[in-house]
């Protein structure tokens, strides 16, 4: 064979080998989760799955071990790789696919709505200090994108594993971060978090519509979602187009600046008047203006109360404050250079992207202060919502039964995990009586689909929120907390009570450190089997003695503690169920409560309200779980 033919043959063979290798790599497909830097669950068989040509042999190799299976007639395959202890880094080879920097450790799914979604950089307490202390390369996060689907999906459209560092951790779920960091430091193992959550969503969208058919109160909505005569794909696309237009208008600063409504000399004579704080919601793109008189030469501080939820605040035509939905309303510093002697103009553009109901201010919380002079900003303001286009009407399709389960849970089901952490419930607060069955069904479905038995499921009870009531009263949020407590009847569940660290004015409390810690305490008991006090005092029983009631609790290993001068949070009643506040005292590991108004007590409640005053703890510093005995 001459040299030219030899070279041609070598070139052909080389090209054939390259093409074959590429074809082989392309033939075996893996879900998006199986990528570089992933964490695999230690000390239990690890599930791999994907696609390949029908009947093709697929082999997974890690750390010198391998296991194989054949794709079925439809090209689907899955296998369990044998249990492996914590460690790494390893290279995982699936067919011809190489996945690098893989560790075995503990893997958790972090789900729920905005309080679980809430990222470190969104103003969490001491977030900058925490981000600076986040150089832990064995902690990795995978964020599942916010997508919806009518039918269960086999894969997610995007995402990759992020290694914890000061450059990346600011975008991690804060609660999941504090939890994962505890897991990593306490157990000295790598930790992976699969972050799958969406702010403002109810529980019914996180389980399949088929399962929801069996949940009382949700049958009709589930059947509608399963109706083949409805083109949900088209409806969702049209709705998404309206949503895209909504956000284009919200974020179009250039256009609304051109309107000039923020300028001092803008003619607002055709505007109507409204009273702020407003007693009824305003709608669409809301503009309000007000003239005030000030002395020049001194800077000023301004506070406008709560503005729900997105706003731009101008002072004499200058933008002095911007607020997004993640921000808490804060005081605004007005520099002396902006202040004119006599007439000054405040202008506000406000929007509510959530439900189009705009609220501006709170009574007693709207003012401007210059030196010792405090001037109220409550009262009449000029108002219009007609100088910008109307807010597009957008439905909450992400509230529909199953659409987030289909797109954000089903594609990750089966990825071997240690367990799940969950913070959700606010969006189900209007129907607390349905939540126990709903939440329990969701947990059970996840467990069935994951094929990992009763894996640990740890969740956060709703925090205290909203205005505190002066007298004992009924409360949807208290009932929902009760439903969450009742869910503990499922095996391998645990709950973090945070009735003491919420915020009356903000549904997103910024103390996420304690939430992560309390979830971790539950994990140490439920998942790791440690014999510790992992919860605040949990009501067990009551005994009536005359006009007093003696209450006993679980999780009080080292006794009970009252934080403050007097025990608060207990209410008592007789048969009439007219509750009154009770006096009380700690007696060892029990509590005794009574009221001079109730001679024959029958029922007791504790921390029963949206935002109750309550101060009973165990010696470990964990708050007592809210309860009632009048079920």
**CB burial of residue 57 (10 Å; 0-12, 13-18, 19+):** exposed
Q: Is residue 275 part of a domain?
A: yes
CATH of residue 267's domain is 2.60.120.260
Q: Give me the residue label for tokens 């009048």.
A: 630
**What whole-number distance in Å separates Cα of residue 191 and Cα of residue 105?**
5
Q: Is residue 464 part of a domain?
A: no
Q: Is residue 334 part of a domain?
A: yes
Rg from Cα positions in the chain: 29
Q: Is residue 594 part of a domain?
A: yes
pTM for the structure as a whole: 0.88
| pLDDT tens track for 529-583 | 999 999 999 999 999 999 999 999 999 999 999 999 999 999 999 999 999 999 9
The pLDDT value given to residue 6: 42
The pLDDT value given to residue 320: 95
Axis crossing angle, helix 174-187 with helix 513-526, rounded to the nearest 10: 50
Q: Is residue 308 part of a domain?
A: yes
Residue 323 in tokens: 């607020």
Of 384, 405, 426, which residue is a domain's last? 384
Residue 305 in tokens: 């109360």
**What whole-number distance in Å separates Cα of residue 533 and Cα of residue 559?**
11
**CB burial of residue 169 (10 Å; 0-12, 13-18, 19+):** buried
The pLDDT value given to residue 362: 87
Of 342, 364, 384, which residue is a domain's last? 384
**How far apart, in Å, are the Cα atoms of 14 and each of 20, 25, 229?**
10, 17, 54
Residue range(s) defining the domain that contains residue 333: 259-384
Q: Is residue 121 part of a domain?
A: no
- Ranges of residues in the chain whose predicted pLDDT is under 70: 1-26, 327-329
Of 351, 384, 417, which residue is a domain's last? 384
Those residues with Cβ within 8 angstroms of residue 109's Cβ, 6 or more apart along the chain or in another chain: 193, 194, 196, 412, 417, 419, 420, 421
The pLDDT value given to residue 5: 42
Q: Is residue 306 part of a domain?
A: yes
Q: For the chain, percent helix, then strand, then coil, each to nearest 5?
A: 25, 30, 45
**What whole-number distance in Å separates Cα of residue 192 and Cα of residue 103?**
9
Give the number of domains in the chain.
2
Q: Is residue 566 part of a domain?
A: yes
């Amino acid at each position: 064979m001459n040299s030219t033919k030899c070279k041609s043959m070598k070139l052909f063979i080389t090209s054939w080998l390259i093409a074959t290798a590429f074809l082989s790599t392309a033939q075996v497909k893996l879900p998006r989760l199986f990528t570089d830097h992933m964490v695999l669950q230690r000390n239990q068989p690890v599930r791999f799955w994907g696609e390949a040509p029908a009947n093709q042999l697929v082999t997974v190799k890690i750390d010198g071990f391998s296991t194989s299976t054949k794709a079925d007639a439809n090209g689907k395959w899955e296998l369990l790789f044998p249990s492996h202890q914590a460690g790494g880094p390893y290279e995982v080879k699936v067919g011809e696919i190489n996945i690098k920097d893989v560790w075995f450790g503990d893997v958790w799914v972090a789900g729920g709505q905005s309080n679980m979604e809430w990222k470190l950089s969104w103003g969490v307490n001491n977030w900058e200090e925490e981000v600076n202390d986040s150089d832990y390369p064995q902690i990795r996060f995978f964020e599942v994108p916010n997508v919806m689907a009518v039918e269960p999906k086999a894969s997610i459209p995007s995402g990759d594993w992020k290694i914890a560092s000061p450059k990346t951790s600011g975008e991690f779920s804060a609660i999941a971060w504090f939890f994962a960091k505890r897991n990593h430091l306490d157990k000295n193992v790598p930790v992976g978090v699969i972050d799958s959550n969406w702010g403002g969503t109810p529980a019914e969208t996180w389980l399949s519509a088929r399962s929801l058919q069996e949940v009382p109160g949700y049958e009709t909505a589930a059947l509608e979602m399963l109706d083949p005569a409805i083109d949900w794909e088209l409806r969702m696309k049209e709705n998404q187009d309206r949503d895209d237009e909504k956000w284009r208008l919200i974020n179009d600063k250039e256009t609304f600046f051109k309107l000039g409504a923020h300028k001092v000399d803008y003619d607002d004579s055709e505007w109507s008047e409204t009273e702020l704080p407003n007693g009824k919601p305003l709608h669409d793109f809301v503009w309000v203006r007000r003239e005030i008189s000030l002395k020049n030469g001194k800077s000023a501080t301004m506070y406008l109360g709560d503005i729900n939820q997105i706003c731009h605040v101008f002072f004499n035509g200058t933008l002095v404050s911007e607020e997004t939905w993640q921000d808490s309303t804060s005081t605004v510093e007005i520099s002396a250079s902006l202040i004119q002697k006599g007439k000054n103009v405040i202008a506000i553009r406000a929007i509510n992207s959530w439900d189009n109901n705009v609220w501006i201010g709170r009574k007693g919380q709207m003012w401007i202060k210059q030196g010792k002079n405090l001037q109220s900003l409550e009262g009449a303001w000029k108002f219009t919502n007609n100088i910008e286009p109307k807010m597009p009407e957008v439905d909450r399709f992400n509230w529909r039964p199953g659409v987030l389960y289909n797109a954000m849970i089903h594609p990750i089901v089966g990825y071997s995990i240690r367990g799940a952490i969950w913070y959700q419930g606010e969006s189900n607060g209007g129907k607390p009586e349905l939540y126990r069955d709903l939440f329990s069904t969701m947990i059970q479905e996840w467990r069935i689909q994951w094929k990992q038995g009763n894996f640990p499921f740890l969740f956060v009870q709703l925090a205290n929120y909203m205005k505190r009531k002066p007298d004992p009263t009924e409360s949807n949020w208290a009932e929902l907390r009760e439903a969450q407590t009742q869910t503990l009847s499922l095996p391998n569940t645990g709950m973090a009570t945070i009735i003491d660290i919420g915020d009356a004015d903000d549904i997103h409390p910024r103390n996420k450190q304690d939430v992560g810690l309390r979830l971790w305490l539950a994990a140490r008991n439920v998942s790791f089997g440690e014999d510790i006090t992992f919860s605040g005092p949990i009501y067990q029983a009551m005994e009536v003695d005359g006009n007093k009631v003696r209450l006993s609790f679980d999780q009080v290993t080292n006794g009970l503690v009252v934080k403050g001068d007097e025990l608060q949070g207990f209410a008592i009643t007789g048969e009439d169920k007219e509750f009154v506040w009770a006096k009380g005292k700690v007696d060892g590991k029990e509590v005794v409560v009574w009221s001079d108004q109730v001679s024959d007590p029958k029922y007791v409640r504790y921390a029963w309200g949206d935002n109750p005053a309550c101060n009973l703890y165990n010696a470990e510093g964990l708050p007592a779980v809210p309860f009632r005995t009048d079920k």
